[in-house]
C-alpha cells in the first residue's frame, strides 16, 4: 500500500539543463517535512520535455537523496506499450519503489476501454514491481473509470491509482472498486480541491502539486479528515484551494516553479515551450503564500 502525501516534485533546470544539485537541495529540504514519499517525472516534473538520459538522471539523483523510509515513485508512461515497458524496467533498475503509468493519449480515438486494459495489463505483466495507473483527464481527455480500474485490480502488480479528475463520484468509484476486489490497493487523490472529502471517503493518500509548496498544510487537512473533523478539514481545504489552483490549472508549471522560488527553494524557469509565470501571476501567488503564512 502506498499511503500519505507524495508530492509530484518539480524538475529544476539551470541554463535549460537538469540541475542535479538544485534537485537534491530541494529533496533534502522536503525530507524534513511531513511527507511520505515523492513522485518524480510526473506531469509537474515536466517529464514529457525530458529525454531518456535526463529521466534516468532524475531518478538516479532522487534515489541517492530520498531516504529508504520514503517511497520513490517515478512516472514511466510512454505512447507505446513497448516504450512503456522499457521505461518501467529502467526505473526499477534505478531503484524506484513503484511506477506511475498514464494513458497513451496521442491516438485518443483508438484508446477504447479494451485497448487501455490490454495496454496496462501487458505493462503490469512485464513490470518488476508495483504499478499505479494514472488518470489525468485534464491533460489526456481519457479518464480511467472505475470499471476499467476494477478490471485492472485483478493483476497483482497493479498497486492502485492516482485519480486527478477532481470528481468525487469518480473517486468513490475507485474506492468501491478496491473493496469489491477484496485486496489492498491505493487510491491516491491527485486534485487538491477534493483532498478533505477524498480522505474522509477512504482514499489512502494524495499526490498533489501544492503538496510540494505547502506540505504541512496538506498533511494537516488529511489528518483532520482522517479524524472525522469534517468541518475543520473542509475549512482548511478551502483556504488552500486558491494556491492549489494557481500552481496547477491557472498558471501551470510556471506557477508551481514561481511558488517554489518565492518560498526560497529552487524552482526556476520551465523548459520551453512552457513559459515562466509573469509578474502579475507571481504577485498573485505571493499574496496567496502570505495569506497561508508561507511567505513573510
- Cell 496496462: give the residue: 120
Residues 6 or more apart whose CB falls under 8 angstroms from that of 187 comprise 160, 161, 163, 171, 174, 175, 178, 202, 203, 204
Give the max Cα distance, the chain: 52
Is residue 162 part of the annotated active site? The answer reads: yes
- Rounded Cα–Cα distance for residues 235 and 130 (Å): 35
Query: Which entry of 162, 241, 257, 290 is annotated as an active-site residue?
Result: 162
Q: Are 188 and 160 in contact (CB under 8 A)?
A: yes
Strands (E), the chain: 4-5, 13-14, 17-18, 37-40, 71-75, 98-102, 131-135, 158-163, 186-189, 205-206
Catalytic residues: 162
Amino acid at each position: 500500500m502506498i499511503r500519505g502525501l507524495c508530492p509530484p516534485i518539480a524538475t529544476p533546470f539551470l541554463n535549460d539543463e537538469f540541475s542535479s544539485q538544485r534537485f537534491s537541495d530541494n529533496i533534502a529540504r522536503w525530507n524534513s517535512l511531513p511527507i511520505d514519499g515523492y513522485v518524480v517525472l510526473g506531469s509537474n516534473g515536466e517529464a514529457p520535455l525530458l529525454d531518456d538520459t535526463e529521466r534516468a538522471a532524475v531518478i538516479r539523483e532522487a534515489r541517492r537523496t530520498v531516504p529508504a523510509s520514503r517511497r520513490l515513485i517515478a512516472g514511466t508512461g510512454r505512447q507505446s506499450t513497448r516504450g512503456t515497458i522499457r521505461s518501467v524496467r529502467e526505473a526499477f533498475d534505478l531503484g524506484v519503489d513503484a511506477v506511475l503509468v498514464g494513458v497513451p493519449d496521442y491516438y485518443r480515438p483508438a484508446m477504447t476501454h479494451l485497448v487501455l486494459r490490454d495496454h496496462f495489463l501487458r505493462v503490469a505483466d512485464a513490470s518488476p514491481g508495483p504499478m499505479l495507473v494514472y488518470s489525468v483527464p485534464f491533460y489526456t481527455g481519457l479518464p480511467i473509470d472505475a470499471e476499467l480500474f476494477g478490471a485492472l485490480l485483478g493483476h497483482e502488480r497493479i498497486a492502485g491509482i492516482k485519480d486527478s479528475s477532481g470528481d468525487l463520484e469518480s473517486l468513490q468509484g475507485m474506492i468501491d472498486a478496491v473493496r469489491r476486489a477484496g485486496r489492498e490497493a491505493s487510491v491516491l487523490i491527485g486534485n487538491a480541491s477534493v483532498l478533505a472529502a477524498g480522505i474522509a471517503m477512504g482514499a489512502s493518500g494524495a499526490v498533489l502539486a501544492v503538496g510540494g509548496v505547502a506540505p504541512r498544510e496538506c498533511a494537516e487537512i488529511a489528518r483532520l479528515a482522517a479524524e472525522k473533523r469534517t468541518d475543520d478539514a473542509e475549512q482548511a481545504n478551502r483556504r488552500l484551494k486558491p494556491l492549489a489552483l494557481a500552481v496547477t490549472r491557472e498558471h501551470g508549471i510556471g506557477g508551481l516553479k514561481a511558488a517554489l522560488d518565492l518560498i526560497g527553494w529552487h524552482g526556476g524557469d520551465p523548459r520551453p515551450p512552457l513559459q515562466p509565470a509573469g509578474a502579475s501571476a507571481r504577485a498573485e501567488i505571493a499574496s496567496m503564500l502570505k495569506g497561508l503564512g508561507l511567505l513573510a
